[in-house]
Amino acid sequence: MSGIVTRNLTRVFTMRQEGRVRETLAVDALDLSVAPGELFGLLGVNGAGKTTTIKMLATLLEPTSGEAWVAGRSVTTEPRAVRANLGCLLPGERTLYWKLTARENLHFSGTLHGMPPQRLKQRVSEVLELVGLAGRGDERVEKFSSGMKQRLALARTILHEPPVLFFDEPTTGLDIHSARSLRTLIRNLAGAGRTVLLTTHNLQEAQDLCDRVGIIHRGRLVALDSPENLRRASSASDIVVLRFGPGPAPLRHVVAAVAGEAAVRVGLPAPEVSVAGDWADATASAAAEADGLEIAVKGRGAAGYAAELLVALRDRGLGVLGLETRRPGLEDVFVELTGHQAPASMDEVAAEGVDAG
Protein backbone atom coordinates (compact mmCIF):
# COMPACT_ATOMS: atom_id res chain seq x y z
CA MET A 1 0.00 0.00 0.00
CA SER A 2 1.60 3.30 -1.01
CA GLY A 3 -1.14 5.69 0.05
CA ILE A 4 -1.69 7.77 3.16
CA VAL A 5 -4.08 6.96 5.99
CA THR A 6 -4.74 8.89 9.19
CA ARG A 7 -6.95 7.84 12.08
CA ASN A 8 -7.94 10.42 14.67
CA LEU A 9 -4.68 12.21 14.05
CA THR A 10 -4.50 15.01 16.58
CA ARG A 11 -1.90 17.58 17.49
CA VAL A 12 -2.10 19.97 20.42
CA PHE A 13 0.58 22.64 20.92
CA THR A 14 1.22 23.76 24.46
CA MET A 15 2.62 27.25 24.91
CA ARG A 16 3.46 29.30 27.94
CA GLN A 17 2.38 32.91 27.59
CA GLU A 18 2.63 35.46 30.40
CA GLY A 19 2.89 32.68 32.95
CA ARG A 20 -0.15 30.84 31.64
CA VAL A 21 -0.17 27.55 29.82
CA ARG A 22 -2.16 27.84 26.62
CA GLU A 23 -3.15 24.89 24.47
CA THR A 24 -3.86 25.19 20.78
CA LEU A 25 -5.58 22.42 18.90
CA ALA A 26 -3.75 22.50 15.56
CA VAL A 27 -5.12 19.27 14.09
CA ASP A 28 -8.32 17.78 15.44
CA ALA A 29 -8.98 14.05 14.98
CA LEU A 30 -8.11 14.00 11.30
CA ASP A 31 -9.41 10.96 9.42
CA LEU A 32 -8.07 10.83 5.92
CA SER A 33 -7.38 8.21 3.30
CA VAL A 34 -5.42 9.02 0.18
CA ALA A 35 -5.34 6.20 -2.34
CA PRO A 36 -2.14 5.07 -4.03
CA GLY A 37 -1.53 7.15 -7.15
CA GLU A 38 -3.95 9.87 -6.07
CA LEU A 39 -3.15 13.59 -6.19
CA PHE A 40 -4.77 14.94 -3.07
CA GLY A 41 -4.97 18.60 -2.08
CA LEU A 42 -5.21 19.85 1.48
CA LEU A 43 -6.59 23.37 1.51
CA GLY A 44 -6.88 25.89 4.28
CA VAL A 45 -5.96 29.37 5.38
CA ASN A 46 -2.75 30.08 7.33
CA GLY A 47 -2.84 28.26 10.64
CA ALA A 48 -5.55 25.85 9.55
CA GLY A 49 -3.35 22.83 10.30
CA LYS A 50 -2.01 21.89 6.86
CA THR A 51 1.70 22.10 7.60
CA THR A 52 1.24 20.52 11.03
CA THR A 53 -0.43 17.58 9.31
CA ILE A 54 2.38 17.28 6.77
CA LYS A 55 5.02 17.44 9.51
CA MET A 56 3.32 14.68 11.49
CA LEU A 57 3.07 12.53 8.37
CA ALA A 58 6.73 13.23 7.59
CA THR A 59 7.75 12.19 11.15
CA LEU A 60 9.11 15.66 11.96
CA LEU A 61 6.47 16.20 14.60
CA GLU A 62 4.95 13.71 17.02
CA PRO A 63 1.17 13.43 17.02
CA THR A 64 -0.45 14.11 20.38
CA SER A 65 -2.80 11.19 19.69
CA GLY A 66 -4.08 9.12 16.81
CA GLU A 67 -2.08 7.31 14.20
CA ALA A 68 -1.03 7.67 10.59
CA TRP A 69 0.47 5.44 7.94
CA VAL A 70 2.46 6.50 4.92
CA ALA A 71 3.11 3.86 2.28
CA GLY A 72 1.75 1.35 4.76
CA ARG A 73 4.27 2.29 7.47
CA SER A 74 3.35 3.78 10.81
CA VAL A 75 4.68 7.29 11.42
CA THR A 76 5.01 6.59 15.14
CA THR A 77 6.52 3.10 15.21
CA GLU A 78 8.34 2.95 11.84
CA PRO A 79 9.51 6.51 11.21
CA ARG A 80 12.64 5.55 9.28
CA ALA A 81 10.66 3.29 6.95
CA VAL A 82 8.22 6.17 6.38
CA ARG A 83 11.08 8.52 5.51
CA ALA A 84 12.60 5.96 3.14
CA ASN A 85 9.32 5.91 1.17
CA LEU A 86 8.72 9.62 1.24
CA GLY A 87 9.80 12.70 -0.67
CA CYS A 88 8.86 15.93 1.04
CA LEU A 89 9.15 19.45 -0.31
CA LEU A 90 8.98 21.87 2.58
CA PRO A 91 8.31 25.57 2.05
CA GLY A 92 11.15 28.06 1.81
CA GLU A 93 14.26 28.24 -0.30
CA ARG A 94 16.62 27.78 2.64
CA THR A 95 16.20 24.02 2.69
CA LEU A 96 19.15 23.68 0.28
CA TYR A 97 22.85 24.13 0.98
CA TRP A 98 23.64 27.38 -0.79
CA LYS A 99 27.40 26.93 -0.71
CA LEU A 100 27.14 23.62 -2.55
CA THR A 101 26.37 23.17 -6.22
CA ALA A 102 23.06 21.78 -7.42
CA ARG A 103 24.73 18.46 -8.19
CA GLU A 104 26.42 18.33 -4.78
CA ASN A 105 23.10 19.00 -3.06
CA LEU A 106 21.50 16.13 -4.94
CA HIS A 107 24.43 13.75 -4.35
CA PHE A 108 24.31 14.56 -0.66
CA SER A 109 20.58 13.91 -0.36
CA GLY A 110 20.68 10.75 -2.47
CA THR A 111 23.51 9.30 -0.41
CA LEU A 112 21.62 9.95 2.81
CA HIS A 113 18.72 8.07 1.26
CA GLY A 114 21.05 5.11 0.77
CA MET A 115 21.10 5.21 -3.04
CA PRO A 116 23.88 3.11 -4.63
CA PRO A 117 26.58 5.41 -6.16
CA GLN A 118 26.14 4.32 -9.78
CA ARG A 119 22.36 4.69 -9.71
CA LEU A 120 22.67 8.00 -7.87
CA LYS A 121 24.97 9.48 -10.50
CA GLN A 122 22.58 8.50 -13.26
CA ARG A 123 19.53 9.69 -11.34
CA VAL A 124 21.07 13.08 -10.51
CA SER A 125 21.52 13.76 -14.23
CA GLU A 126 17.95 12.61 -14.90
CA VAL A 127 16.31 14.85 -12.32
CA LEU A 128 18.45 17.87 -13.24
CA GLU A 129 17.27 17.38 -16.81
CA LEU A 130 13.68 16.92 -15.65
CA VAL A 131 13.59 20.23 -13.76
CA GLY A 132 15.44 22.12 -16.49
CA LEU A 133 18.69 22.59 -14.59
CA ALA A 134 20.91 20.23 -16.58
CA GLY A 135 23.18 23.06 -17.69
CA ARG A 136 23.42 24.60 -14.23
CA GLY A 137 24.22 21.52 -12.16
CA ASP A 138 27.75 22.61 -11.29
CA GLU A 139 26.84 26.11 -10.13
CA ARG A 140 26.49 27.00 -6.49
CA VAL A 141 22.88 27.27 -5.34
CA GLU A 142 23.50 30.77 -3.97
CA LYS A 143 23.56 31.99 -7.58
CA PHE A 144 20.13 30.55 -8.36
CA SER A 145 16.84 32.47 -8.57
CA SER A 146 13.97 31.49 -6.25
CA GLY A 147 12.33 29.53 -9.04
CA MET A 148 15.51 27.58 -9.75
CA LYS A 149 15.98 26.81 -6.07
CA GLN A 150 12.43 25.53 -5.88
CA ARG A 151 12.95 23.37 -8.95
CA LEU A 152 16.14 21.99 -7.44
CA ALA A 153 14.29 21.28 -4.19
CA LEU A 154 11.70 19.41 -6.24
CA ALA A 155 14.48 17.45 -7.95
CA ARG A 156 15.81 16.48 -4.55
CA THR A 157 12.32 15.44 -3.43
CA ILE A 158 11.88 12.96 -6.26
CA LEU A 159 15.54 11.90 -6.58
CA HIS A 160 15.20 8.64 -4.67
CA GLU A 161 11.93 7.77 -6.46
CA PRO A 162 9.70 7.59 -3.39
CA PRO A 163 6.17 6.24 -3.87
CA VAL A 164 4.69 9.04 -1.73
CA LEU A 165 5.33 12.75 -2.20
CA PHE A 166 4.40 15.72 -0.02
CA PHE A 167 4.43 19.21 -1.47
CA ASP A 168 3.87 21.94 1.08
CA GLU A 169 2.96 25.21 -0.67
CA PRO A 170 5.20 24.37 -3.63
CA THR A 171 4.43 27.39 -5.80
CA THR A 172 4.28 30.11 -3.15
CA GLY A 173 6.44 33.06 -4.14
CA LEU A 174 7.24 31.76 -7.61
CA ASP A 175 6.82 33.70 -10.81
CA ILE A 176 4.21 32.59 -13.34
CA HIS A 177 6.53 30.48 -15.47
CA SER A 178 8.20 28.71 -12.55
CA ALA A 179 4.82 28.02 -10.95
CA ARG A 180 3.47 26.61 -14.19
CA SER A 181 6.41 24.33 -14.81
CA LEU A 182 6.28 23.10 -11.21
CA ARG A 183 2.57 22.31 -11.53
CA THR A 184 3.21 20.42 -14.73
CA LEU A 185 5.93 18.39 -13.00
CA ILE A 186 3.64 17.60 -10.09
CA ARG A 187 0.86 16.56 -12.43
CA ASN A 188 3.24 14.29 -14.33
CA LEU A 189 4.50 12.70 -11.12
CA ALA A 190 0.95 11.85 -10.08
CA GLY A 191 0.32 10.56 -13.59
CA ALA A 192 3.30 8.24 -13.17
CA GLY A 193 1.62 6.54 -10.21
CA ARG A 194 3.05 8.45 -7.24
CA THR A 195 0.77 9.34 -4.35
CA VAL A 196 0.88 13.11 -3.94
CA LEU A 197 -0.27 15.18 -1.00
CA LEU A 198 -0.30 18.85 -1.89
CA THR A 199 -1.04 21.69 0.49
CA THR A 200 -1.78 25.02 -1.03
CA HIS A 201 -3.34 28.40 -0.51
CA ASN A 202 -3.97 28.52 -4.17
CA LEU A 203 -7.49 27.23 -4.80
CA GLN A 204 -7.24 27.43 -8.55
CA GLU A 205 -4.12 25.31 -8.36
CA ALA A 206 -5.94 22.72 -6.27
CA GLN A 207 -8.95 22.78 -8.58
CA ASP A 208 -6.78 22.25 -11.64
CA LEU A 209 -4.41 19.64 -10.23
CA CYS A 210 -6.10 17.53 -7.58
CA ASP A 211 -8.17 14.38 -7.91
CA ARG A 212 -9.68 15.14 -4.51
CA VAL A 213 -9.33 17.94 -2.01
CA GLY A 214 -9.85 18.21 1.70
CA ILE A 215 -10.65 21.59 3.19
CA ILE A 216 -9.18 21.94 6.65
CA HIS A 217 -10.47 24.65 8.94
CA ARG A 218 -9.24 25.20 12.49
CA GLY A 219 -7.68 21.74 12.45
CA ARG A 220 -10.83 19.93 11.31
CA LEU A 221 -11.54 18.46 7.94
CA VAL A 222 -14.75 20.23 6.87
CA ALA A 223 -15.02 18.90 3.32
CA LEU A 224 -13.55 16.00 1.38
CA ASP A 225 -14.35 15.20 -2.23
CA SER A 226 -13.31 15.90 -5.79
CA PRO A 227 -13.30 19.62 -6.71
CA GLU A 228 -16.13 18.92 -9.15
CA ASN A 229 -18.31 17.17 -6.56
CA LEU A 230 -17.65 19.89 -4.00
CA ARG A 231 -18.71 22.53 -6.47
CA ARG A 232 -21.79 20.53 -7.45
CA ALA A 233 -22.84 20.02 -3.86
CA SER A 234 -22.25 23.63 -2.96
CA SER A 235 -25.16 25.93 -2.30
CA ALA A 236 -23.18 28.76 -3.84
CA SER A 237 -24.98 30.42 -6.78
CA ASP A 238 -24.29 30.47 -10.48
CA ILE A 239 -22.88 33.74 -11.63
CA VAL A 240 -23.52 35.92 -14.68
CA VAL A 241 -21.03 38.64 -15.42
CA LEU A 242 -21.99 41.44 -17.80
CA ARG A 243 -19.59 43.98 -19.16
CA PHE A 244 -20.79 47.29 -20.50
CA GLY A 245 -18.99 50.06 -22.24
CA PRO A 246 -18.28 53.28 -20.36
CA GLY A 247 -21.59 54.82 -19.29
CA PRO A 248 -23.16 57.29 -16.92
CA ALA A 249 -23.43 56.41 -13.24
CA PRO A 250 -27.22 55.72 -13.22
CA LEU A 251 -26.61 52.80 -15.54
CA ARG A 252 -26.07 50.42 -12.69
CA HIS A 253 -29.48 51.19 -11.20
CA VAL A 254 -31.11 50.67 -14.56
CA VAL A 255 -29.36 47.34 -14.97
CA ALA A 256 -30.32 46.32 -11.48
CA ALA A 257 -33.96 47.09 -12.20
CA VAL A 258 -33.87 45.26 -15.53
CA ALA A 259 -32.19 42.25 -13.93
CA GLY A 260 -34.85 42.14 -11.24
CA GLU A 261 -37.70 42.31 -13.74
CA ALA A 262 -36.12 39.62 -15.92
CA ALA A 263 -35.74 37.36 -12.94
CA VAL A 264 -39.40 37.71 -12.04
CA ARG A 265 -40.34 36.79 -15.59
CA VAL A 266 -38.39 33.52 -15.47
CA GLY A 267 -39.51 32.70 -11.94
CA LEU A 268 -36.24 33.28 -10.13
CA PRO A 269 -35.85 35.11 -6.87
CA ALA A 270 -34.54 38.63 -7.23
CA PRO A 271 -30.88 38.38 -8.18
CA GLU A 272 -28.09 39.92 -6.22
CA VAL A 273 -26.39 42.58 -8.23
CA SER A 274 -22.93 43.59 -7.28
CA VAL A 275 -19.58 44.62 -8.57
CA ALA A 276 -17.61 41.57 -9.65
CA GLY A 277 -15.40 40.38 -6.86
CA ASP A 278 -17.58 41.94 -4.18
CA TRP A 279 -20.18 39.23 -3.81
CA ALA A 280 -20.34 39.31 -0.07
CA ASP A 281 -22.30 42.51 0.43
CA ALA A 282 -24.74 41.76 -2.42
CA THR A 283 -25.48 45.40 -2.98
CA ALA A 284 -26.29 47.03 -6.29
CA SER A 285 -23.15 49.12 -6.19
CA ALA A 286 -20.80 49.18 -9.13
CA ALA A 287 -17.56 50.84 -10.11
CA ALA A 288 -16.39 52.28 -13.36
CA GLU A 289 -13.37 50.45 -14.66
CA ALA A 290 -10.98 51.39 -17.37
CA ASP A 291 -12.86 49.38 -19.93
CA GLY A 292 -16.34 50.18 -18.71
CA LEU A 293 -18.77 49.08 -16.07
CA GLU A 294 -18.72 45.53 -14.83
CA ILE A 295 -21.75 44.14 -13.07
CA ALA A 296 -22.32 40.61 -11.83
CA VAL A 297 -25.75 39.11 -11.38
CA LYS A 298 -25.93 36.28 -8.89
CA GLY A 299 -28.79 33.89 -8.36
CA ARG A 300 -29.66 30.17 -8.40
CA GLY A 301 -30.08 29.12 -12.04
CA ALA A 302 -28.66 32.41 -13.19
CA ALA A 303 -26.84 30.77 -16.08
CA GLY A 304 -30.15 29.88 -17.72
CA TYR A 305 -31.45 33.36 -17.15
CA ALA A 306 -28.66 35.11 -19.05
CA ALA A 307 -30.54 35.00 -22.35
CA GLU A 308 -33.64 36.59 -20.80
CA LEU A 309 -31.48 39.29 -19.30
CA LEU A 310 -29.72 40.03 -22.58
CA VAL A 311 -33.06 40.50 -24.37
CA ALA A 312 -34.36 42.77 -21.63
CA LEU A 313 -31.25 44.92 -21.74
CA ARG A 314 -31.36 45.16 -25.53
CA ASP A 315 -35.05 46.23 -25.33
CA ARG A 316 -33.94 49.09 -23.07
CA GLY A 317 -31.24 50.07 -25.53
CA LEU A 318 -28.35 48.87 -23.36
CA GLY A 319 -25.72 47.16 -25.48
CA VAL A 320 -23.68 44.50 -23.73
CA LEU A 321 -19.99 44.17 -24.63
CA GLY A 322 -19.51 40.81 -22.98
CA LEU A 323 -21.36 38.12 -21.10
CA GLU A 324 -19.89 35.27 -19.11
CA THR A 325 -21.72 32.63 -17.09
CA ARG A 326 -19.79 30.89 -14.36
CA ARG A 327 -20.55 28.00 -12.03
CA PRO A 328 -19.32 28.24 -8.44
CA GLY A 329 -15.59 27.55 -8.15
CA LEU A 330 -13.61 25.98 -5.38
CA GLU A 331 -13.08 29.47 -4.02
CA ASP A 332 -16.86 29.85 -3.49
CA VAL A 333 -17.00 26.44 -1.80
CA PHE A 334 -14.06 27.38 0.39
CA VAL A 335 -15.67 30.64 1.49
CA GLU A 336 -18.96 28.88 2.14
CA LEU A 337 -17.36 26.19 4.31
CA THR A 338 -14.83 28.21 6.23
CA GLY A 339 -16.47 31.60 6.40
CA HIS A 340 -13.15 33.05 5.23
CA GLN A 341 -12.43 35.00 2.14
CA ALA A 342 -10.24 32.96 -0.15
CA PRO A 343 -6.59 33.12 0.84
CA ALA A 344 -4.63 36.09 -0.41
CA SER A 345 -2.76 34.11 -3.00
CA MET A 346 -6.05 33.62 -4.84
CA ASP A 347 -5.66 37.15 -6.07
CA GLU A 348 -2.20 36.35 -7.33
CA VAL A 349 -3.61 33.38 -9.19
CA ALA A 350 -6.27 35.50 -10.80
CA ALA A 351 -3.62 38.00 -11.78
CA GLU A 352 -1.24 35.47 -13.25
CA GLY A 353 -3.91 33.47 -15.07
CA VAL A 354 -3.14 29.99 -13.84
CA ASP A 355 -2.38 27.29 -16.31
CA ALA A 356 -5.57 25.29 -16.39
CA GLY A 357 -4.38 22.75 -18.90
Partner 1 sequence: MNLAAGFRMVLALARKKLAQELAYKASLLMWFIFPFLFIAPYVYQARFFAGPGGEGVGAFTRLAGTDNYLGFIVVGATLWYWLTNLLWEIGFSIRDEQSMGTLEQLWLTPAPRWLLITGNAAANTVINTFMSLAVLGIAHLWFGLRLTADPGLLALACGLSWLALYGMGFFYSGLVMLLKEAEGVVRLGNEVVLALAGVTYPLAVLPGWAGVLGKAIPLSWALKVLRGILLEGRGWAALSGDLLVLALFAILTPAAGLACFGALERVTRRRGILGEY
What does the DSSP 8-state code read for residue 307?
Answer: H
- Contact between 60 and partner 1 per CB under 8 A: yes
**Phi-psi region for residue 305, left (φ > 0), alpha (ψ -120 to 50) or beta?**
alpha
- Based on the shown chain and the rule CB under 8 A, indicate whether residue 279 belongs to the binding site for partner 1: no
Shortest separation between residue 20's beta carbon and partner 1, angstroms: 17
Least Cβ distance, residue 223 to partner 1 (angstroms): 26
Nearest approach, Cβ of 17 to partner 1 (angstroms)? Answer: 15
Amino acid code (one letter) for 183: R
Distance CA 135, CA 143 (A): 14
Q: State the nearest-atom distance from the C-beta of 299 to partner 1, in Å.
A: 46
Min CB(206)–partner 1 separation in Å: 24
∠ Cα 344 223 52 (to 5°)? 65
DSSP state of 101: B
CA pair distance 26, 198, nearest whole angstrom: 18
Interface segment toward partner 1; rule CB under 8 A; list 54-62, 238-246, 268-276, 330-338: 54-62
Say what the alpha-carbon torsion angle 333, 336, 337, 342 is, to the nearest 10 degrees: 70
* Pairwise CA distance, residues 153 & 182, whole Å: 11
Which of residues 167 and 244 has its CB atom nearest to partner 1 in the complex? 167
Instruction: Give min distance, CB of 157 to partner 1, in A.
Output: 9
What DSSP element (H or E) covers 31?
strand 20-34
Kindly state whether residue 16 participates in binding partner 1, applying the rule CB under 8 A: no
In 3D space, the residue among 207, 288, 214, 219 whose CA is nearest the CA of residue 251 turns out to be 288
Site for partner 1 in 67-86 (CB under 8 A): 80-81, 83-84, 86
Using CB under 8 A as the binding rule, whether residue 58 contacts partner 1 is answered as yes
Taking CB under 8 A as the criterion, the residue among 23, 31, 62, 289 binding partner 1 is: 62
Which of the residues 83 through 122 are near partner 1 (CB under 8 A)? 83-84, 86, 88, 90, 92, 94-100, 104, 107-109, 111-114, 117
Phi, psi (deg, nearest 5) at residue 26: -85, -40
Q: How many CB atoms lie within 10 A of CB 240?
A: 23
Max Cα-Cα span within the chain = 77
Residues within window 116-155 making contact with partner 1, judged by CB under 8 A: 117
Cβ-based nearer residue to partner 1, 99 or 253: 99
**Of the two residues 131 and 268, which places its CB atom closer to partner 1 in the complex?**
131
Shortest gap between Cβ of 27 and partner 1 (angstroms)? 11
Q: How many CB atoms lie within 10 A of CB 23?
A: 10
Q: How far is the CB of 87 from partner 1 (least distance, A)?
A: 9
**Residue 267: CB atoms within 10 Å:** 8
Nearer residue to partner 1 within complex by CB, 145 or 226: 145
**Residues 288 to 307 in contact with partner 1, rule: CB under 8 A:** none
Interacting residue ranges for partner 1, rule: CB under 8 A = 11, 13-14, 52, 55, 58-62, 80-81, 83-84, 86, 88, 90, 92, 94-100, 104, 107-109, 111-114, 117
